[in-house]
């Protein structure tokens, strides 16, 4: 079993100690460094080259989100999981924009945290349940005067329709029912959307579409 090496960043020493004690109970996870703010986390990452960085969203001097953005500029492939005490849609959407691979509340169980770290270390993305619906709420709050005449990134009009339904949180089957087409067709259209937008998953497709103004 390969050991996943971690750098843990949180401004509360007791939280760091508690997380480290819990993670020490898991044989394949090892905390190799700790940091009390984002700036120190960046130094530890450069020094220790961990597999995964586990950071609190809210820290002094440099927040977890700011550290994540800095890592994306200098170390774009670094795997990052953000932890937060608060269930905040704004922080979640900002983290997604910055390319986070994992986003968890601190009240997760040890088993859930350990599994999230393993999945992120293996190259997967782990996000909270219901993320599409929560992003859709963010979309609903955006101005509606985007230009729709020009279809960005080579998307077809039907693909834009599918993308808007994805943003509303609909599954492939629900989209197929809404458009009167086959579920397999929607799956193929979704794959095409992800490819054209250069993203890995539906959530980031919605965020990219928000940036392009086609929702």
> How many CA atoms are closer than 13 Å to the CA of 129, on its beta-carbon side?
2
pTM: 0.66
Q: In whole angstroms, what is the distance from residue 49 CA to residue 146 CA?
A: 42
* pLDDT one-digit tens code per residue, 159-197: 988 888 887 767 888 888 888 889 999 999 999 999 988
Alpha-carbon gap, residue 135 to 129, rounded angstroms: 11
Rounded to 5 degrees, what angle do the CA atoms 173, 175, 181 make?
A: 80
**What backbone torsions phi and psi does residue 36 show, to the nearest 5 degrees?**
-105, -5
Report pLDDT for 144.
40
H helix or E strand, kind and range, residue 6 = strand 4-9
- 3 vs 139, more confident: 3
- Give the best-scoring range by mean pLDDT among 110-124, 134-148, 159-173, 198-212: 110-124
- What phi and psi, each to the nearest 5 degrees, are found at residue 81? -120, 125
pLDDT value for 146: 39
pLDDT given for residue 143 in this prediction: 43
Least confident of 105-109, 143-147, 204-208: 143-147
Place of tokens 């458009």: 179
* CA pair distance 79, 51, nearest whole angstrom: 7
pLDDT band at 89 (very low <50, low <70, confident <90, very high): low
Least confident of 69-73, 84-88, 112-116, 196-200: 84-88
Burial class (CB in 10 A: 0-12, 13-18, 19+), 145: exposed
């Amino acid at each position: 079993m390969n050991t996943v090496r971690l750098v843990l960043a949180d401004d509360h020493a007791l939280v760091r100690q508690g997380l480290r004690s819990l993670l020490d109970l898991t044989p394949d996870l090892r905390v190799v460094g700790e940091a009390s703010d984002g700036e120190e986390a960046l130094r530890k990452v450069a020094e220790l080259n961990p597999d995964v960085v586990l950071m609190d969203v809210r820290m002094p001097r440099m927040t977890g989100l700011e550290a994540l953005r800095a890592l994306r500029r200098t170390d774009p492939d670094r795997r990052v999981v953000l932890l937060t005490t608060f269930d905040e849609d704004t922080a979640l959407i900002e983290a997604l924009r910055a390319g986070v691979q994992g986003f968890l509340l601190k009240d997760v169980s040890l088993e859930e945290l350990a599994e999230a770290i393993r999945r992120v270390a293996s190259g997967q993305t782990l996000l909270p349940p219901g993320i599409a619906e929560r992003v859709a709420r963010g979309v609903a709050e955006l101005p509606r005067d985007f230009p729709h005449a020009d279809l960005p990134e080579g998307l077809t009009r039907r693909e834009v329709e599918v993308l808007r339904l994805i943003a509303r949180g609909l599954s492939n089957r629900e989209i197929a029912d809404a458009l009167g087409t086959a579920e397999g067709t929607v799956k193929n259209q979704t794959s095409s959307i992800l490819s054209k937008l250069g993203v890995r998953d539906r959530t980031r497709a919605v965020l990219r579409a928000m940036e392009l103004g086609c929702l």
